[in-house]
Amino acid sequence: MEKGKSVSLVLSSGGARGLAHVGVIEELEKRGYHIAEIAGCSAGALVGGMYAAGKMDEFKDWICHLDRLDVFSLMDFTFSSRGFIKGEKVYNALKKVVKDCQIEDLNIPFYCNAVDYISGKEVIFREGSLYTAIRASGSIPTVFQPARHHRYELVDGGVLNPVPLSLLRKSDENMIVVVGLNAGDSELVVPPKKDSTGKSYISIPTWVSDYRDKMRQYFPEQVKEEKPASLSSISLMTRSFDLLQDRFSALLIEKHEVDISVQIARNQAGTLEFHRAEELIEIGREKAIQALDKWENENS
- Report whether pLDDT(73) > 50: yes
- Report whether pLDDT(84) > 90: no
273-298 residues labelled b (16+ CB within 10 A) or e (exposed): bbbbbbbbbbbbbbbbbebbeebeee
User: What's the pLDDT at 201?
Assistant: 53
Q: Which of 137, 136, 159, 143 is closest to 81 using CA atoms?
A: 143
Task: Report the distance separating Cα 61 and Cα 74, nearest Å.
Answer: 16
Q: What percent of the chain clears pLDDT 70, i.e. is strictly above it?
A: 83
Catalytic annotation, residues? 42, 156
Please enumerate in sequence order all residues whose Cβ is within 8 A of that of 67, keeping only pairs 6 or more positions apart, or say none. Answer: 275
Task: Report the distance separating Cα 153 and Cα 115, nearest Å.
Answer: 8
pLDDT 10s digits, 192-245:
666 556 665 544 445 445 545 544 544 444 444 445 556 666 677 667 777 777
Q: Which of 287, 293, 289 is closest to 188 using CA atoms?
A: 287
- Residues in the chain, overall count: 300
Please enumerate in sequence order all residues whose Cβ is within 8 A of that of 262, keeping only pairs 6 or more positions apart, or say none. Answer: 24, 177, 178, 179, 180, 284, 287, 288, 291
- Average pLDDT over the chain reads 87
The model carries a pTM of 0.85
Query: Is 39:167 a contact under the CB 8 Å cutoff?
Result: yes
Please enumerate in sequence order all residues whose Cβ is within 8 A of that of 59, keeping only pairs 6 or more positions apart, or say none. Answer: 47, 50, 94, 97, 98
251 confidence band (pLDDT: 50, 70, 90): confident
Average pLDDT rounded to a whole number, residues 73-90: 88
